[in-house]
Amino acid sequence: MTHKTNARIAGFAFLFYIAAGITGMVLFSQATRGDGITAKFVSIAQHVLQLRLTIILGLLEAVCALVLAVTLYAITRDQDSDLAMLALIFRVGEGLLGAISTRATLEMLWLGTSAGRTAPDLVTLQVLGTYLLAGPNWIMPAVLFAMGSTLFSYLFLRGRTIPVSLAWLGVVASVLRFRGTARLLVAHQGCQDAKSALKLASQIGTAQPSRHSAPSGRPLFVNSGKFKPDLR
C-alpha cells in the first residue's frame, strides 16, 4: 500500500480507537455502578448487554492497535527501520495484552449471571469480586502504548511527515504518559484492595455453605433488585 493509503487507514484506526475506548469506559461504568462489591454485581446482572458491548469494544481496540502498528511502521520505516520495528513490536504487544485483558470482564459477567450448581457462594463471590473490581489495575497495555507512541512520534518528528508542532505534542504527551503509567506500575496501586481480597479468601476454607446460594437454574443476582445483602 502507498503512504497515503496507510495514513488514511491509520487515521481512521486512531479515531476509532479513541471512540471505542471512551464508549467502553462509559458502558463499563454504567454496568458496574454501586457502593459495594455486592451492589456492583447486582448492577452487572441488570446490565448484561452493556458489559457484553464493553468486551466487544475492548477486542476492537486491540484490533485497532494492531492496525496502527502495521500502518505506522509502513509510514515511518524510511526514517529508521530499526526504531520503527521496535515501535511496531510495542504496539503489537499492546494489542495482544489488551485482547487478553477482556477476560477479566468476561469473568465479571460470569460471576454476575452464573446460576445453578456452578454458581459461587456469597463469600467466594465477594472475594473474587473484590479482586476483579477493586484489585490492582492491569496497565501493561498502557505502558506499551506509551513506549510505541513515543517512538512513532519521534520518527514523525525526525521525518517531518506531519507538522512539527503536532509531532512534538505527540512526543511530549507520550513521554508523560509513559512516566505516569510507569509510576503506577511501580507503586502497585490497588494492592491494599488485593490484600483485603486475600484476607477474605482465607475465610473460604472455614466458611459454611451460604444459605443464599443460587437455586438450580437461577442466577445469584436477579433483576428484581430484591436481593441486596450487605456484606461490606
pLDDT, one tens digit per residue, over 93-109 is: 999 999 998 888 888 88
Q: What does each C-alpha distance from 76 to 117, 124, 167, 174 come to in angstroms?
A: 55, 50, 13, 17
The angle at the Cα of 141, spanning 136 to 145, to the nearest 5 degrees, equals 135
Q: What are the grid coordinates assigned to 112, written together?
A: 454476575
**pLDDT value, residue 136:** 63
Task: Report the SS3 class of residue 110.
Answer: helix
**pLDDT value, residue 221:** 54
Residue 116 DSSP class? G
Distance between alpha carbon 87 and the CA centroid of its chain, in Å?
A: 21
Residue 205 DSSP class? T
**pLDDT value, residue 205:** 47
The owner of cell 448487554 is 49
Per-residue tens of pLDDT for the chain, all 232 residues: 888 899 899 999 999 999 999 999 999 888 888 787 778 887 888 888 998 999 999 999 999 999 999 999 999 998 999 999 999 999 999 999 999 988 888 888 888 777 667 777 777 777 777 777 766 666 888 888 999 999 999 999 888 878 888 888 888 888 888 888 777 766 654 444 445 444 544 544 444 444 444 444 445 554 444 444 444 4
Task: Report the SS3 class of residue 224.
Answer: coil
How crowded is the C-beta side of 187, counted as CA atoms within 13 Å? 10
Written as one letter, the residue type at 140 is M
**pLDDT value, residue 128:** 77
Phi, psi of 214 (to 5 degrees): -65, 135
**pLDDT value, residue 55:** 92
**pLDDT value, residue 111:** 80
pLDDT, one tens digit per residue, over 14-52 is: 999 999 999 999 998 888 887 877 788 878 888 889 989
Q: What is the separation, in whole angstroms, between the first and last Cα of the chain? A: 57
| Whether pTM exceeds 0.85 | no
**pLDDT value, residue 96:** 93
Residue 118 DSSP class? G
Cβ neighbours of residue 201 closer than 8 Å, sequence gap 6 or more: 127
In the chain, the largest separation of any two C-alpha atoms, in whole Å, equals: 67
SS (H, E, C) 23-92: HHHHHHHHHCCCCCHHHHHHHHHHCHHHHHHHHHHHHHHHHHHHHHHHHHHHHHCCCCHHHHHHHHHHHH
**pLDDT value, residue 135:** 64
**pLDDT value, residue 227:** 42
